[in-house]
Amino acid sequence: MLFQRPSDDRLYQALIDRDASFDGRAFVGVTSTGIFCRLTCPARKPKPENCQFHETAAACLEAGFRPCKRCKPLQYGTESLVADLVERLNADPGRRWTEGDIIALGLDPSTVRRAFKRGLGVTFLELARLRRLQEGFTALGQGDSVIEAQLSASYDSASGFRAAMAKLLGLAPGGFRDDAPLRAAPISTPLGPMVAVCDAHSVHLLEFFDRKALAGELKRLVKDTPGGLGCGRFAPHTQIEAELDRYFAGERVVFETPPTLHGGPFAREVWTALRQIPAGETRSYGQLAESLGRPTASRAVARANGQNQIAIVIPCHRVIGADGALTGYGGGLHRKRALIALERQAAETKS
């Protein structure tokens, strides 16, 4: 049964009672402090007239509230239901999930589907399929045969596995080369799996698995790089993965893995300027254009921003609309919102 939002009076009583049944399904924004919380937050309770209730953490952020440091309502945009299923998925990433499995847990598939779309931008079953492909991708990088990788990904059909990998990465498993100067490897993050493409010295691409432009970006890399693309890891893979772990833990937001930029002079100029935006801050396209001495080039800046293929390291998520609204982001607005919130919280903690 879908969650029906109660009245504000009922939600305020749930806040007073710290009613756990509302955890992840309703949040309170406190106008006197500018902070939003779970209804189970142990902090001192605000007056009713200072409360605004919202159904999602994302809605609280859009209303201008900051996440509470005590109850941590922003778990990268997820709800408690989502967090529980993601934990189950992480425990067995190769499992082939069905709607029947969701029902067997006592959950309504439509409720799960909507919760995941709100929190992560994909349904649970879509995320489970991506995780299975990630397992197959990892197996290929470890030197397993295509059939072994297929089994790791829980695909019954070899042709189905090859087609799914080709659709995801723009290259069928047989197209990867053992002696390639570029290698692709999956990296797990709290916002979903990513793929990193590195050579022995730098990172060339870092994108979320479900980014629609990923296959095209990889095809261009393969076309422009003599020797093609392989599966596996170089030292920069290990370095960028460790830096991402610290980043998502809020411990640091400075990336030292060298990037190789694939773009024209203007695009590279924009990407360099993006890295100069302090973590926890944002800029509009117009402000970025002015900082480059090209105040009329807002649209060109936006195009270059969208062409960035090294997510997070080159922080295109820190660019917003002139009115403060979140604008397009290849990884999804839910991730852009979560990344900005994570960086702001880290910056506030350090200040």
User: What is the dihedral sign for C-alpha 46, 336, 85, 126?
Assistant: positive
Query: Which pLDDT does position 2 carry in this prediction?
Result: 36
Catalytic residue among 68, 198, 231, 316: 316
pTM of the predicted structure, to 2 decimals: 0.70
Q: Give the integer Cα–Cα distance in Å for 142 and 137.
A: 9
Q: Is the pLDDT of residue 268 over 90?
A: yes
CATH, residue 23: 3.40.10.10
Q: Is the pLDDT of residue 89 over 90?
A: no
Could you tell me if residue 59 is inside a domain? yes
Q: Do 230 and 179 contact (CB within 8 A), yes or no?
A: yes
Could you tell me if residue 96 is inside a domain? no
Q: Give the integer Cα–Cα distance in Å for 147 and 161.
A: 9
Q: Is the pLDDT of residue 65 over 70?
A: yes
Q: Is the pLDDT of residue 78 over 50?
A: no
194-198 and 182-187: which strand pairing?
A: antiparallel
pLDDT, tens only, 30-57: 999 989 898 888 889 999 999 999 887 7
Structure tokens at 195: 């793929």
Query: Which pLDDT does position 156 carry in this prediction?
Result: 85
DSSP characters for 215-281?
HHHHHHHHHHSTT-EEES--HHHHHHHHHHHHHHTTS-----SPB---S-HHHHHHHHHHTTSPTT-
The mean pLDDT of 98-120, rounded to a whole number, is: 85
Domain boundary among 21, 46, 67: 67
Q: Is the pLDDT of residue 218 over 60?
A: yes
229-231 and 283-284: which strand pairing?
A: unpaired
CA angle 248/237/219 to nearest 5° reads: 105
The mean pLDDT of 113-142, rounded to a whole number, is: 83
CATH, residue 346: 1.10.10.10
The mean pLDDT of 139-151, rounded to a whole number, is: 83
Q: What's the pLDDT band for 6 if we cut at 50, 70, 90?
A: confident
Query: Which pLDDT does position 3 carry in this prediction?
Result: 44
Could you tell me if residue 228 is inside a domain? no
Lowest model confidence (mean pLDDT) among 8-22, 68-82, 115-129, 198-212: 68-82
Could you tell me if residue 117 is inside a domain? no
Could you tell me if residue 208 is inside a domain? no
Q: What percent of the chain has pLDDT over 70?
A: 93
Query: Which pLDDT does position 58 carry in this prediction?
Result: 67
The mean pLDDT of 308-321, rounded to a whole number, is: 92
Could you tell me if residue 314 is inside a domain? yes
Could you tell me if residue 291 is inside a domain? yes
pLDDT, tens only, 146-180: 888 888 888 888 888 888 888 878 888 888 888 88
182-187 and 203-208: which strand pairing?
A: unpaired
Domain that holds residue 346: 265-350
Query: Which pLDDT does position 101 carry in this prediction?
Result: 93
Could you tell me if residue 62 is inside a domain? yes
Q: Do 74 and 341 contact (CB within 8 A), yes or no?
A: yes
Lowest model confidence (mean pLDDT) among 181-190, 193-202, 246-255, 256-265: 246-255
Give yes or no: 316 in active site. Answer: yes
Q: Is the pLDDT of residue 252 over 50?
A: yes
Domain total in the chain: 2
Domain boundary among 41, 67, 93: 67
